[in-house]
């Protein structure tokens, strides 16, 4: 038996999905007679993460005291390290009272089926000042032009907290069969493969050559025997490449350029927060829960626009209490192909280079090239990957 890293704050994972088929069917039937609310996409994503064990050891949605504590101190009221509030916010008070059980309907699936059953432990309203404080602490800004802030402000100010039982994984299992996996399933894969040192790589984009080489570099330096490329499968901002296209591009890259049986391509059902440093901590926490021992964090991790400094998401790990997380960081710089060395390097490790010594292309320039059916240079993007992306942009026009 492989000795896998412990989950966060627990000896074992605490998946809230009702795994017993009969019990789940019974709850689903009973839910039709319960008071119900259509929750936000963010709350549905939280349910999926709670269901799959990614948010171990939480048992449901946080109440106001815990949410404000997490926003202010990154700890729950009982001292558990947690970087972002996990909430069920509504626009209006639900048709139920404290002590009742309520059905939570999924906003992202046609017909709004019930995604989870919640025992209401508190119904509380946030003031505008409290909502602004959470936004400022979590996102570093209250600017509604920030996509994560805009999404948060749109959810509402009525908090319904309490434990949940999850009945399904929303659209993720159906839309991404074979890619969407729970933390439970990833741990089982790690055990089956016998991996001991596992590197996790977060992506919401297709992987270009620099990303590929960064993963290879991290595995080599950490003497890792497994890599989990962990794709976000939930909602992104406008203009980002859809998950199915990213999945195809990444699968092709792994097939051609990584040794067999060293990589697991997986995905998780959550919407992007774009919360920079705080989200980087959350990303590391739930990668520990899925069994990774190391996590790559590069330049502007989980960032958007100019809201965060390039390495703020790395620096925040030096500010949290020792032992808050067991997973270790692999701190990466911007990676690019060196014309001098004929290989991809981390730019900080090439002090004798200037900007012209690297193959550097902006995201905008790459999208324009792909949209015109022009493959980026082989030093920037593998040709097999570029073809998939060119086909996507061609179909978009």
Topology of the domain covering 21-170: Sulfate adenylyltransferase (3.10.400)
Burial class (CB in 10 A: 0-12, 13-18, 19+), 342: exposed
pLDDT per residue as tens digits for the range 211-261: 999 999 999 999 999 999 999 998 877 777 888 888 899 999 999 999 999
Q: How far apart are CA 56 and CA 242, in angstroms?
A: 28
CB–CB of 85/325 below 8 Å? Answer: no
Average pLDDT of adjacent 10-residue blocks, the chain of 397 residues = 86 98 97 98 98 98 98 98 98 97 98 98 98 98 97 98 98 92 98 97 88 94 97 81 87 94 96 96 98 95 94 96 96 89 89 91 81 88 92 81
Catalytic site includes residue 204: yes
Residue 107 tokens read as: 């906003």
In the chain, where the domains are located? 21-170, 174-396
Residue 32 tokens read as: 């039709």
Peptide bond into 57 cis (omega under 30): yes
pLDDT, position 360: 86
Catalytic residue among 24, 112, 197, 205: 205
Topology of the domain covering 174-396: Rossmann fold (3.40.50)
Tell me the angle at which helices 363-371 and 383-396 cross, rounded to the nearest 10 degrees: 70
Catalytic site includes residue 354: no
CB–CB of 201/254 below 8 Å? Answer: no
pLDDT, position 396: 75
pLDDT, position 2: 62
pLDDT, position 126: 98
Catalytic residue among 24, 197, 204, 367: 204
């Amino acid at each position: 038996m492989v000795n896998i890293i412990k989950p966060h704050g627990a000896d074992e994972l605490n998946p809230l999905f009702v795994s017993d088929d009969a019990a789940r069917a019974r709850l689903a039937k009973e839910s039709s007679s319960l008071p119900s609310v259509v929750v936000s996409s963010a709350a549905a994503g939280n349910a999926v993460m709670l269901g799959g064990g990614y948010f171990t050891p939480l048992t449901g949605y946080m109440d106001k005291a815990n949410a404000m504590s997490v926003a202010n101190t990154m700890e729950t009221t009982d001292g558990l390290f947690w970087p972002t509030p996990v909430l069920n916010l509504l626009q209006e008070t639900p048709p139920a009272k404290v002590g009742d059980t309520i059905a939570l309907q999924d906003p992202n699936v046609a017909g709004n089926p019930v995604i989870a059953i919640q025992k209401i432990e508190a119904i509380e309203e946030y003031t505008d000042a409290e909502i602004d404080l959470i936004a400022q602490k979590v996102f570093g800004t209250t600017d509604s032009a920030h996509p994560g802030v805009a999404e948060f402000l749109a959810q509402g100010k009525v908090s319904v907290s309490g434990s949940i039982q999850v009945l399904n994984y929303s659209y993720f299992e159906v839309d991404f069969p074979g890619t969407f996996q729970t933390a439970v399933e990833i741990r089982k894969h790690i055990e089956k493969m016998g991996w001991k040192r596992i590197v996790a790589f977060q992506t919401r984009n297709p992987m270009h050559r620099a990303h590929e080489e960064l993963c290879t570099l991290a595995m080599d330096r950490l003497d890792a025997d497994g890599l989990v490329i962990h794709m976000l499968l939930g909602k992104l901002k406008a203009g980002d490449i859809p998950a199915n296209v990213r999945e195809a591009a990444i699968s092709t890259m792994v097939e051609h350029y990584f040794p067999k049986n060293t990589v697991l391509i997986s995905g998780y059902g959550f919407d992007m927060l774009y919360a920079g440093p705080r989200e980087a901590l959350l990303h590391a926490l739930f990668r520990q829960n899925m069994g990774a021992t190391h996590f790559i964090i590069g330049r502007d991790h989980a960032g958007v626009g100019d809201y965060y400094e390039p390495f703020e998401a790395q620096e925040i790990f030096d500010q949290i209490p020792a032992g808050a997380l067991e997973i270790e960081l692999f701190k990466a710089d911007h990676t690019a192909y060196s014309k001098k060395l004929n290989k991809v390097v981390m730019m900080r490790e090439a002090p004798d280079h200037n900007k012209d010594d690297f193959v550097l292309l902006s995201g905008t320039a790459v999208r324009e090239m792909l949209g015109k059916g022009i493959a980026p240079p082989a030093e920037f993007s593998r040709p097999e990957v570029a073809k998939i992306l060119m086909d996507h942009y061609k179909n978009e026009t």
